[in-house]
Structure 1
Amino acid sequence: MLLKPRTESTELQIMSSLYTRMTLSDKDQKHFFNLQKGFEGEVMFDRLTEKLQCECLILNDLLLKTNNTIFQLDTLILLPDTLYLFEVKNFEGDYFYESDQIYSKARSEITNPLLQLSRSESLLRQLLTSLRFKLPIVSSVVFINPGFTLYQAPIDKPFIFPTQINRYLKKLDSYPLKLNEQHRKLADQLISLHLPTSPFTQVPSYNFDQLKKGIICAACRSFSIDFFGKNCICKVCEHKETVGDAVMRSVREFQLLFPDEKITTNVIYEWCGGVGSKRIIRKILKENFTIVGVHQWAYFIDN
């Protein structure tokens, strides 16, 4: 049973918006692509774990803190007698293992995911102890991308390769034991301890003036939107949605990027690229927010 679904991190959402609306440095582009690829790999694994029919509780993307140390868990599956911890990697291409290190074919070293896995397992065990819950932890690194190969991989390392994933999950699915209230209590406690935002985000500086204005297509991320009455259609991919939905998506994006700025008709009209009219923008805002103040001092807040 899926108890905690995975969602895009605030950092990934912001970086996605900035990538579309400004020119990122090579370093920031690489960071964004890594975040995006990592999330895509985790979602691929989620699609597989959600098919489990055994009695289990699935917690995705937990950000926890114990002994003043913050740690992140990609996937945690609680079975009756064991906690299964998975670190998911979406590496692609050919790599090789040598002297406890992982290298690309060009001999570029990457951080060994076993180091992160070991740290996460240790901190999780400490947290469980503080919650007075004893359960063995089995930890593994899942290489989810079918285009990944690791040469010289030691057989004694907790690696699960693309061709092994279905077999591994099928084995988990054969668990005959039943969960009880203590398992659900532990899962609820872990979810309650989840930190909504990470203090380790890496987002470049930006301001309103330097960002490209306009409504972004929800499907293909282009700015090529045409308006026809109450609807708008993307000229690139022909994705269609109502003007109200398109404007509200842009408002939520503005709130994400500028959480301390007031939402006004003029600001959102400019943010949307001056499409439609201010009267339409104001009408949409009045339908979705509470208005505060009057005339030129009016602004909108969430209901």
Structure 2
Amino acid sequence: MLCKSRKESDEIRILRHLNNRMTLTEKDKQHFLNLAKGYEGEVLFDSLTEKLSCECYNLNDLLLQVGGTLFQIDTLIILQGTIYACDVKYHEGDYVYETDKLYKKPRIEVLDPLLQLKRSNSLLRQLLNKLGYHFALESYVVFNNPQFTLYQAPLNKPFIFPTQVNRFLQKLDSTPSKLSSKHKQLADKLVSLHITDSPYRQLPFYEYGKLRKGLTCSKCQSFEFHVKGKNCVCKDCETLEPVVSAVIRSIEEYKLLFPNEKVTTNVIYEWCKMVTKKRIRAILQENFTAAGGHRWSYYE
């Protein structure tokens, strides 16, 4: 049973918009691409864990805290006697494991996932003990990109490779499991302890005046997205979207990028371009709540 789903983080969404509306540094762009690729791998793993038919509670993307220390768990699966914590890595290419270090060929050292796994495993165990739960805990690093190869892979490390993922889940599925109210209480407690605003966000400096304005295609993010009657049409990929939907999507993007700024007709008119002020006002009035006085009205 899915108790906590995964959703794309605000950090990824903001970086995607910024990548489209300004020129990111190579460092910021690579950070965005790494986050997006990691999320892709996590969603792929979710598509498999959600098919588990055994009695279990599945919690995705947990950010927890114990003793003032934050830790993250990509996937947590609660069975009758054992809790499985999985750290999903969507690495692609050829890697080598040598003297407890992970390298991408030819010789680029990357962060050893075992260090993060050991840390999160220890902190999760502390949290469970603090909450009064004493289940067995097993933690694994799941490499689930089919284009990933690890040379000199150690046999004594908690690694699950792409060709082993299905067998690992089949093993869980065949494990006898009968959940009780105690398991449900634990799942609910962990969900309630999840920290929604991650302090780990790494965003570049940006300001309104430096961002490119205009509606963008929902499919390919192109600015070649033009109003034709009641619809917007993308010249690049021919995607068709109602003007109302495109404007609302653009408003939500503005609110994400500038959460402390008021949404007004004039601001959204300048932000969207190519849509008349009259049409913008009508869309705001129909889909958002007006606030403030008549002269200083804005929308929430």
TM-score by structure 2 length?
0.98
SS at match of 2:73: strand
CA distance in 1, matches of 2:240, 2:137: 47
CA distance in 1, matches of 2:177, 2:192: 26
Contact 1:66 1:126 in 2 (8 A): yes
Q: Which residue of 2 aligns with 1:300?
A: 299
Contact 1:64 1:70 in 2 (8 A): yes
CA distance in 2, matches of 1:133, 1:22: 49
CA distance in 2, matches of 1:124, 1:289: 41
Contact 2:8 2:39 in 1 (8 A): yes
CA distance in 1, matches of 2:240, 2:180: 47
**Cα displacement (A) at 1:230:** 1.7
In structure 1, give the amino acid aligned to 2:299.
Answer: F
SS at match of 1:76: strand
Contact 2:264 2:298 in 1 (8 A): yes
**Cα displacement (A) at 1:295:** 4.7
Output one character per residue of 1:209-257: Cα deviation in whole Å (capped at 9) or x when no partner: 1011111111111111122222212111122221111111111111111
Q: Which residue of 2 aligns with 1:19?
A: 19
CA distance in 1, matches of 2:291, 2:89: 47
Residue 164 (1) aligns with residue 177 (2): no
CA distance in 2, matches of 1:122, 1:187: 18
In structure 2, give the amino acid aligned to 1:129.
Answer: N
Identity in percent: 58
Q: Which residue of 2 aligns with 1:291?
A: 290
Output one character per residue of 1:96-116: Cα deviation in whole Å (capped at 9) or x when no partner: 111000111121100100000
Q: Which residue of 1 aligns with 2:244?
A: 244
Contact 2:56 2:177 in 1 (8 A): no
In structure 1, give the amino acid aligned to 2:274.
Answer: V
> How many residues get paired?
300
- The answer for unaligned runs of 5 or more in structure 1 is none
Residue 281 (1) aligns with residue 280 (2): yes
CA distance in 2, matches of 1:97, 1:299: 57
Q: Which residue of 2 aligns with 1:190?
A: 190
In structure 1, give the amino acid aligned to 2:158.
Answer: P
In structure 1, give the amino acid aligned to 2:195.
Answer: L
In structure 2, give the amino acid aligned to 1:280.
Answer: R
In structure 2, give the amino acid aligned to 1:103.
Answer: Y
In structure 2, give the amino acid aligned to 1:72.
Answer: Q
Q: Which residue of 2 aligns with 1:92?
A: 92
**Cα displacement (A) at 1:203:** 0.1
Q: Which residue of 2 aligns with 1:127?
A: 127
CA distance in 1, matches of 2:78, 2:143: 21
Q: Which residue of 2 aligns with 1:221?
A: 221
**Cα displacement (A) at 1:296:** 4.1
CA distance in 1, matches of 2:292, 2:177: 60
In structure 2, give the amino acid aligned to 1:159.
Answer: F
Contact 2:226 2:274 in 1 (8 A): no
**Cα displacement (A) at 1:87:** 0.4
TM-score by structure 1 length?
0.97
Contact 1:54 1:175 in 2 (8 A): yes
Contact 1:10 1:197 in 2 (8 A): no
- The answer for unaligned runs of 5 or more in structure 2 is none
Q: Which residue of 1 aligns with 2:105?
A: 105
Aligned pairs for 1:123-162 (under 5 A) are: 123-162=123-162
In structure 1, give the amino acid aligned to 2:223.
Answer: F
CA distance in 1, matches of 2:48, 2:205: 37
Q: Which residue of 2 aligns with 1:270?
A: 270
SS at match of 2:289: strand
Q: Which residue of 2 aligns with 1:62?
A: 62
Output one character per residue of 1:260-303: Cα deviation in whole Å (capped at 9) or x when no partner: 0000001001111x2120000000001111212345422112xx
Q: Which residue of 2 aligns with 1:211?
A: 211
SS at match of 1:297: coil
SS at match of 1:227: strand
